[in-house]
Structures are given as C-alpha cells and as structure tokens.
C-alpha cells in the first residue's frame, strides 16, 4: 500500500547520477478518471489498481490515433511510473544487505536498472531494446503477485546488475539456476499442502519441459567449456518447451502469447521454490558469510528427507508463533480499549469480525457499530498499526524458537559457530518472509473479493471465533 501519486510521478535518472521526480500530467488525469475515489487517499489498494491498469493496458485499441491518448498506453505509463519508485527500493535493499562488504551504494546500481527516461515514450516498440521498467510491466501478471514483488524479482535478474554485483563479490541465485537444480519429485514434496494436486502436477510437467530443453543446453555448454551463469531462456528455447509440452499432451492452459505466459509460469514456480527454501543471497568470497553459505549447502544436501522434515517442522512453528503473536497483540489492544471512556473494546472486536470474517467494507461497518463515517472505522481498527505490532511479536517469537529447531539439524560444533553476525543475517531472511506475508494480507484486505486463506487472517479469525463464543 502507498499513496496514489506513485502512479503519475516518475523517477528519472539524471546525468549527475541522482534521481529526479516529475509529475506526468497525462498519467495523473487518466488515473483520476479511472480511480476518482483514490486520487487523494493516503493509502490505496495497489493490487486492485494494478489489475485494472493491466486489463486496460492489454486491451489496446488500434483505432486510437494519438498514442498519448490511448487508454492502453496511459495505463502502461501509470504502471511504469509505479515501477520507477520500486526499483530504487530494490537498490536500497541491496545496499543495506551487501553495500558494506561489497563497497557500493544504491546510486552505483541505478545505471543498470533505471533506464526508462519517459513513461509515456513508446519508441521501444520500434527497436530491439526494452527499458527495464517496460519489461517488468509487460511480463507482469497481477494474478501471480503484486507489482512490487514482481519488480524486485526481475530487477534481481538483470544481467548488467548481476555482473556489477559479481565484481563486488556478491552472487545472487537466478530463477533459472533454482529450476535447474530442482527435480519434479522434489517439487511435489516442497509444494504439497501449498498447491492443489492439479497445480503441482502442472508444475512438474512445466519443469520437465524446462529440463528437457534448457538444462540439456546447459549441459552441452559445460561439456564444451562454454558454461556461464544461468540466464533467461530465449524465445527459441521457450518454443521448444511448448513443443515438448504439446508432445506430452500437456499444453492446455497456455494461450495467447504462449511463450511469454510460459515464461511467467516458470518465474512463478521459481518464486514459490524461493519462498519454501528461503534461498538467501550471500557473498561467497566473504569469510564472514562463508559459514552461512556452507550451512545452506548442508541444508540443501542430498539428504532431502531431512531438509523436508526441517521445513515441515519450521512451518508448523512459524504458524504457531503467528497465532501466538496475534493473540498477544489483540489481547493488549482489547485491554487498552477497555479502559477508554467510554470503553471501545467490544466495538473494536465487532468491527474487526465484520471486516475479516464477513468481508464487509469500512463504510458498511460504520452504522453497524454505532459510527457515522468510514474513516472512524479505519481509525478504530488501526489495521496498519495492528499488522506492525503482530510483525514485531511474531519475529521475536521466531527468534526465540529458531535455536531450538536448529540444534536438531546442526552438530554442536556448527551451533557454536552460529555467532551473532550470522544470527543477524538469518534474521534478515526471516524478516523478509514475515514482511511478505504481512504485505500480502494488507493488499488482500483492500480487495472486494477478500479471501480468508491468508495465514494472518486465519489466525485473526481464530481469535475472533474464541471471542464470539
């Protein structure tokens, strides 16, 4: 979530190396026309907005003469503006994680990824070069992720950026390397309980086609001494994968621009594997982080049953910690509100139940709890602060549980080496995972089709069920 202006203000890299923000008037007018209720909002439902903009972008009308008046082009421009604000955040994250050991700053990274000078310029359609932001927007599927997550994923896959990071001793595992080293049987184990059986079957079939084409090409490269870092499959390889799927009778579900859809499917599969395995990006050349890399190799050792067991136990502990964190935070909030004059604890719990259990909007909730305006319900619930408090409590509980879990999978000598600095690095991985879950719930809460499948929402509803009984 964030302010609406990100969809009509654009960050451009200047010759000086600094970023300059400017308002794109046509994009602002278009956004105001499409989303009049959110133009002045402090926070907006990003995923809902992005879905609508993508729909408009992909419904181009060739009859429109002026490209700057085309709804499809203006929608693309709004999305490119948004991406221009997200890319620097990825650079900032890289600086925070690796800047000290690599000796670089976020500004050193801009030249590799901030190459979209004008969000309403479409000259790229006449050339072979795609600005990074354009490529991010064109491949974006709002049914698979939000645009912030998608931007981070594709920025970290940029060849120029990865080459620069490698020069500083930082190596990031690509989606394609992850898929290369994952077997269909392993996917079935890792994604069991996360996806439906038909979805897992489809993932295995797609991975098999990827291995048959891409991995075989990689093996041939290595045999000739021409091996290099895994890069994105080219158009010919994607077509060959589609042919492989068709030969196996498994090409259903791939339509439209099928090669691009297959590419998105492969990236989505790699991202799901990242979330399960939590592959952390570390410098392999730094003595301070080499132990963490070695421990990752231990966890990813051939003893896959042990790893799967750890992941299963860790997932259970994580869910238990979240449930406990939700209870702690809500108990504290209810106690605080019960001492207000007049007490507001019952009103708070009723409003929370109407929002999360019945899916009612803030406007619908207001008269049901004795309030008049939507903003009064928003202020009463304080969902942003609630999520922040749960995040902090959840992370604290996980930090307390993790050493007890690790002692069953690391020997005493390895545990002794698990010093404070390495603990901090692992904490960063945990924080990233927690932030993603909290952010997904925040995005989902603004959707008119809210789903209780969110882990955060499920724990909250469990608490509310206890209260109602």
Summarize pLDDT for 275-315 with one digit per residue, the tens. Answer: 775 433 333 333 333 333 333 333 333 344 455 555 556 66
Phi-psi region of 429 (alpha: psi -120 to 50; beta: other; left: phi over 0): alpha
Nearest to 92, CA basis, from 59, 114, 63, 119: 114
CB atoms within 10 A of CB 283: 21
Mean pLDDT of 248-277: 73
Q: Rounded to the nearest 5°, which phi and psi values hold at 195? A: -125, 160
Residue 282 or residue 33, greater confidence: 33
Mean pLDDT of 5-31: 92
Among the residue ranges 26-30, 100-104, 446-450, the one predicted with the least confidence is 446-450
Three-state SS at 20: strand
Percent of the chain with pLDDT over 90: 25
Query: At 4, is the pLDDT very low, low, confident or very high (cuts 50, 70, 90)?
Result: confident
Mean pLDDT of 86-95: 90
> Domain limits of the chain?
4-167, 175-278, 304-468
On the question of pLDDT at 159 being above 90, the answer is no
Q: What is the pLDDT of residue 50?
A: 93
Among the residue ranges 179-183, 249-253, 364-368, 461-465, the one predicted with the least confidence is 249-253
Q: How far is CA 242 from CA 141, 144, 193, 209, 219, in A?
A: 19, 20, 28, 8, 20
On the question of pLDDT at 7 being above 90, the answer is yes
Query: At 11, is the pLDDT very low, low, confident or very high (cuts 50, 70, 90)?
Result: very high
On the question of pLDDT at 65 being above 70, the answer is no
CB atoms within 10 A of CB 318: 20
Residue 248 or residue 214, greater confidence: 214
Residue 290 or residue 130, greater confidence: 130
Name the DSSP class of 279: P
The kind and range of the H/E element at 452 are none
C-alpha angle with apex 343: 342 to 344, nearest 5 degrees?
A: 115
Three-state SS at 262: helix
Mean pLDDT of 232-252: 82
Q: What is the pLDDT of residue 445?
A: 57
Q: What is the pLDDT of residue 69?
A: 67
Mean pLDDT of 422-432: 56
Q: What is the pLDDT of residue 373?
A: 87
Q: What is the pLDDT of residue 97?
A: 79
Rounded distance between C-alpha atoms, residue 120 and residue 286, angstroms:
43
Nearest to 271, CA basis, from 170, 185, 194: 194
Q: What is the pLDDT of residue 351?
A: 92
Nearest to 192, CA basis, from 203, 206, 182: 203
On the question of pLDDT at 440 being above 50, the answer is yes
Q: How many CA atoms lie within 13 A of 292 on its CB side?
A: 23
Rounded distance between C-alpha atoms, residue 291 and residue 422, angstroms:
8
Q: What is the pLDDT of residue 291?
A: 31
- The overall average pLDDT reported for the chain is 78
> What residues contact residue 165 under an 8 Å CB cut-off, 6+ apart?
94, 98, 102, 171, 172
Burial 41-53 (b: 16+ CB within 10 A, else e): eeebbbbbbbbeb
Query: Would you tell me the crossing angle of helices 345-356 and 374-381 to the nearest 10 degrees?
Result: 100
Q: What is the pLDDT of residue 295?
A: 35
Mean pLDDT of 103-118: 91
On the question of pLDDT at 44 being above 70, the answer is yes
Q: What is the pLDDT of residue 132?
A: 94
Terminal CA-CA length for the chain: 34
Query: At 197, is the pLDDT very low, low, confident or very high (cuts 50, 70, 90)?
Result: confident
Report CA 208 to chain centroid distance, whole Å: 25
Rounded distance between C-alpha atoms, residue 469 and residue 466, angstroms:
5
Query: At 67, is the pLDDT very low, low, confident or very high (cuts 50, 70, 90)?
Result: low
On the question of pLDDT at 137 being above 90, the answer is yes
Q: Are 326 and 460 in contact (CB under 8 A)?
A: yes
Among the residue ranges 29-38, 194-203, 247-256, 345-354, the one predicted with the least confidence is 247-256
pTM: 0.47
Task: Assess whether the previous peptide bond of 342 is cis (omega < 30° from 0).
Answer: yes
Q: What is the pLDDT of residue 297?
A: 36
pLDDT tens-place string over residues 383-417: 888 888 888 888 888 878 777 776 665 666 655 55
On the question of pLDDT at 179 being above 90, the answer is no
């Amino acid at each position: 979530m964030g302010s609406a202006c990100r969809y009509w203000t654009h960050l451009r890299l200047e010759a000086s190396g600094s970023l300059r923000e400017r308002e794109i008037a046509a994009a602002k007018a278009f956004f105001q026309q499409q989303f009049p209720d959110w133009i002045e909002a402090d926070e907006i439902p990003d995923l809902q907005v992005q879905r609508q903009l993508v729909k408009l972008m992909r419904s181009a009308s060739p009859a429109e003469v002026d490209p700057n008046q085309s709804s499809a082009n203006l929608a693309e421009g709004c999305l490119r503006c948004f991406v221009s604000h997200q890319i620097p955040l990825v650079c900032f994250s890289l600086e925070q994680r690796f800047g000290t050991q690599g000796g670089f700053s976020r500004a050193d990274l801009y030249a590799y990824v901030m190459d979209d000078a004008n969000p309403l310029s479409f000259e790229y359609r006449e050339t072979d070069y795609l600005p990074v932001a354009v490529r991010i927007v064109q491949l974006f599927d709002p049914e698979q992720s939000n645009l912030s997550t998608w931007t981070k994923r594709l920025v970290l896959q940029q060849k120029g950026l990865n080459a620069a990071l490698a020069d500083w001793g930082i190596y990031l595992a690509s989606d394609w390397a992850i898929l290369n080293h994952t077997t269909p049987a392993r996917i079935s184990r890792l994604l069991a309980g996360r996806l439906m059986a038909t979805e897992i079957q489809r993932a295995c079939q797609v991975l098999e086609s990827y291995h048959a084409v891409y991995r075989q090409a990689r093996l041939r490269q290595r045999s000739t001494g021409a091996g290099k870092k895994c890069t994105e499959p080219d158009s010919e390889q994607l077509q060959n994968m589609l042919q492989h799927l068709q030969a196996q009778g498994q090409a259903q579900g791939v339509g439209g621009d099928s090669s691009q859809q297959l590419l998105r499917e492969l990236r989505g599969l790699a991202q799901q594997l990242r979330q399960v395995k939590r592959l952390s990006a570390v410098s392999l050349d730094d003595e301070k982080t080499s132990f963490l890399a070695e421990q990752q190799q231990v966890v990813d050792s051939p003893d896959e049953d042990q790893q799967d067991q750890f992941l299963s136990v860790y997932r259970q502990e994580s869910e238990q910690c979240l449930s406990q964190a939700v209870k702690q935070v809500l108990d504290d909030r209810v106690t605080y509100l019960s001492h207000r004059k007049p007490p507001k604890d019952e009103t708070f719990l009723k409003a929370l139940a109407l929002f999360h259990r019945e899916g009612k909007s803030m406007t619908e909730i207001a008269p049901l709890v004795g309030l008049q305006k939507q903003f009064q319900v928003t202020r009463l619930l304080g969902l942003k602060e609630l999520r922040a408090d749960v995040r902090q409590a959840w992370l604290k509980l996980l930090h307390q549980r993790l050493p007890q879990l690790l002692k069953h999978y690391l020997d005493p000598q390895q545990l002794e080496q698990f010093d404070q600095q390495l603990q901090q690095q692992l904490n960063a991985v945990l924080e990233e995972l927690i932030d993603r879950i909290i952010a997904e719930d925040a995005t989902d809460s603004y959707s008119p089709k809210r789903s209780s499948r969110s882990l955060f929402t499920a724990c909250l509803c469990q608490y509310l069920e206890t209260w109602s009984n």
